[in-house]
Amino acid sequence: MTESSSGRADAAGPPPRVRVTAPRPGGGGASARPLPQHGGAPTSDIAGVYARSLIRSQLRLAIVFAIGFAVATALFVLAIALVPALDSSFVFGVPASWLLLGVGVYPLALTVAGLYVRAASRNEARYRSLTEAE
Amino acid sequence: MNPVIGYAAIAAVALASALIGFYGLRVSRTTSDFYVASRTVRPWWNASAIGGEYLSAASFLGIAGLILLQGSGGLWFPIGYTAGYLMLLLFVAAPLRRSGAYTIPDFTEARLESTWARRVTSTLVIVVGWFYIVPQLQGAALTVRITTGLPSWVGSVAVAVLVAVIVAAGGMRSITFVQAFQFWLKLTALAVPVVALLLIVGGGEPPAQLTPAEAFPPAAGPADLDVYRTVSLMVALLLGTLGLPHVLVRFYTNPDGVAARRTTVIVLALLSVFYLFPTAFGLLGRAFAPDLAASGEADALILLLPGRLVPGIWGELLTALVIAGAFGAFLSTSSGLVVSLAGVISQDLLGGSVRGFRIAAVVSSLIPLVVALSTESTGLAGSVGLVFAFTASTLCPMLILGIWWRGLTARGAIAGMLTGALLSGGAILGGPLLAAAVPVLRPFLEQPAAWTVPLAVLVTVLVSRADHRGIPRGADAFLTRLHVPERRVH
């Protein structure tokens, strides 16, 4: 896979067209490609340390958010199940418990997603400021 | 039902998809255009296209059918289909884009430096893709049978042929346009009828067949939860999304990792809105068309309900709209899968040329057609759920460990993928027989993901640990490449 990434997408206007060709099977794969020679290339030990710590903090972030979502969803369902009144109070002819389960998890997922993107970008910005300060 | 509506709606969608496809042909000329749309696709377009591709027969018809059949247990399917993108965002989106891999096999080979790992991955991707196309063709068969009265096979053949032609002619650039169009078509095709039906039903005419208490008994409600089955289904849907070949290919068309994340969040929002409508259809169906559950036609609920509740020409127009949306769903998911399968097959077997891509596209449409014609549909949402369980047990552990754990080796990945494939494949294929002999095992065989995924991960980790000399030399550099942000233009 060869890519000539001459420019990244800027804020305005369409992103520049980048020519991409299919990799040849058995042709060495992506590891034969030159690594990006900028901010992140592990050109020294210290750069490797920064990169590893970035990976660790991003992984921790992803796991915390995944567990957070699972726990929040489980608590939400448990709360619905533990209030029998929700089964017998009808909104537009549908029990409130059904409506809550049918609608309630999506805002939760979106909130988690939004918070995660901010936190992940913050991690990357911190990495960038560390490596560019060198 | 008036068959003219069915013919008109199906012909209109087929024509529109083909026209947009061929329009794209004029701008797609080189190999790179064919494979990844030259990476000029913006997040909104890309997200619409992912949504268009992802919302399959299971989403469009199957969820409403399942809510009608099972009650609130069916509500978990759209939750899982949507939250799968949250997992994709957390663990895969940005790193996968930065890997520079176009397909999952490309990723495997680059990460593990092993052609054998690549071959196993390619085989699994092809199996997943083919078995995912089968329910789409069966959904098309159902739609054509219900709406036109033609024999079922006509629908399957029509979709398979259309998809083969569109993909072979246009490649992925045109498919991005087609898919984005399909998302908005599908959303409109459900949203407009739902709003119309709610307005009409709100007026009190026609009366519901069941009272609210009969239509929504607590015994089928959220409180009556089968914990094992629900958890296992969630594991399958949340993690299965990560390994779907047609979804991952789209991430490669993002300009960079940050755009890949933005795309994923937009997809999450689009799906959250979309799934409100099949859910509403399912709830309406429980009160207004409970007889469909008894007659075994639950998957046809969305196609039949507008005509039943709205008399005259307006009912027919709404029916035409849902038929168009349903047909759009089969076309878009199948073509997305065929694009990604054709990419894998042509690169691995046919040298990566445009001609090879076209041959592979035709082959990838025809083989699922043979399977679809020779098997019987057993509930669209359920069969797609099983494909998710298989994907979650095979491709997902390899992807997540490959992205986050430097200790993964080719042997570990292969052992894990084969373990997952044997266990989940065995549970899916041999499950009905074994469950009849040992009824206690039934839930574990019908929803295998909760035990097959952890076992596949365990085998992957143990074999990789034992094989620590097999850690690829480039592992550290590759992981750095996955996670380090791209340079910004100053």
Interface predicted TM-score of the whole assembly (ipTM), two decimals: 0.87
Averaged pLDDT score across all residues of chain B? 84
Residue A73 sits in which domain range? 39-132
Confirm whether B397 is domain-assigned.
no
Which stretches of chain A are assigned E, i.e. beta strand?
90-91, 94-95
User: Is the minimum CB–CB distance between B458 and chain A shorter than 8 Å?
Assistant: no
Residue B128 sits in which domain range? 3-379
Distances (CA, A) of A53 to A40, A113, B48: 12, 22, 35
Distance from CA of A115 to the nearest CA of B (A): 11
- Summarize pLDDT for A80-110 with one digit per residue, the tens: 888 878 777 888 778 888 899 989 999 999 9
Place of tokens 């991003």: A58
Confirm whether B177 is domain-assigned.
yes
Cα gap B360→A22, rounded to integer Å = 15
> Phi and psi of A95, rounded to 5°?
-60, 140
CB pairs under 8 A between A and B: 212
Confirm whether B456 is domain-assigned.
no
Q: Mind giving me the DSSP string for A51-63?
A: HHHHHHHHHHHHH
User: Is the minimum CB–CB distance between A38 and chain B shorter than 8 Å?
Assistant: yes
Task: Choose among B140, B149, B158, B139: nearest CA to B3.
Answer: B149
Count: domains in chain B: 1
Task: Choose among B413, B394, B481: nearest CA to B97.
Answer: B481
Distance from CA of A107 to the nearest CA of B (A): 8
Distance from CA of A85 to the nearest CA of B (A): 11
Q: Which among B215, B276, B347 is the nearest to A22, CB-wise?
A: B347
Contact B486 A36 (CB under 8 A): yes
Contact B484 A39 (CB under 8 A): yes
For residue A65, the chain B residue with the least C-alpha distance is: B90
User: Is the minimum CB–CB distance between A15 and chain B shorter than 8 Å?
Assistant: yes
Interface test with B, best of A17, A43, A55, A80 (most B CBs within 10 A): A55
Confirm whether B215 is domain-assigned.
yes
Count: domains in chain A: 1
Contact list in B for residue A100 (CB cut-off 8 A) is 222
pLDDT confidence of A68, banded at 50, 70, 90?
A: very high
User: Is the minimum CB–CB distance between B123 and chain A shorter than 8 Å?
Assistant: no
Q: Mind giving me the DSSP string for B311-325?
A: -HHHHHHHHHHHHHH
Angle formed by the axes of helices B449-466 and B410-437, to 10°?
150
Cα gap B56→B84, rounded to integer Å = 15
What tokens appear for B35 in the block? Answer: 């494979």
Q: Answer yes or no: is pLDDT of A41 > 50.
A: no
Confirm whether B384 is domain-assigned.
no
Q: Answer yes or no: is pLDDT of A4 > 70.
A: no
User: Which residues touch B110 (CB under 8 Å, ≥6 apart)?
Assistant: A29, A30, A31, B99, B100, B101, B478
User: Is the minimum CB–CB distance between A118 and chain B shorter than 8 Å?
Assistant: no
Low-confidence ranges of chain B (pLDDT < 50): 28-30, 33-35, 38, 489-490
Q: Which among B38, B90, B215 is the nearest to A20, CB-wise?
A: B38
Which element (helix H / strand E) includes A41? none
**CB within 8 Å of chain A, chain B residues 25-44:** 30-32, 35-36, 38-40, 42
Count of CA atoms in the C-beta half-sphere (13 A) of B162? 31
Amino acid B9: pLDDT: 83
Amino acid B29: pLDDT: 47
User: Is the minimum CB–CB distance between B283 and chain A shorter than 8 Å?
Assistant: yes
User: Is the minimum CB–CB distance between A1 and chain B shorter than 8 Å?
Assistant: yes
Confirm whether B450 is domain-assigned.
no
User: Is the minimum CB–CB distance between A69 and chain B shorter than 8 Å?
Assistant: yes
SS3 B215: helix
Count of residues making up chain B: 490
Alpha helices in B405-474 (DSSP H): 410-437, 442-446, 449-466
The amino acid sitting at B297 is E
Confirm whether B459 is domain-assigned.
no
Task: Choose among B244, B421, B239, B238: nearest CA to B337.
Answer: B244
The amino acid sitting at A86 is L
Confirm whether A2 is domain-assigned.
no
The amino acid sitting at B183 is F
Q: What's the CATH code of the domain at B13? A: 1.20.1730.10
Cα gap B457→B239, rounded to integer Å = 12
Distance from CA of B133 to the nearest CA of A (A): 25
Distance from CA of B84 to the nearest CA of A (A): 10
SS3 A17: coil
Q: Which among B110, B476, B487 is the nearest to A29, CB-wise?
A: B110
Interface test with A, best of B241, B270, B482, B484 (most A CBs within 10 A): B484
Helix, strand counts (H, E) of chain B: 23, 0
Amino acid B166: pLDDT: 80
Confirm whether B124 is domain-assigned.
yes
Confirm whether A70 is domain-assigned.
yes
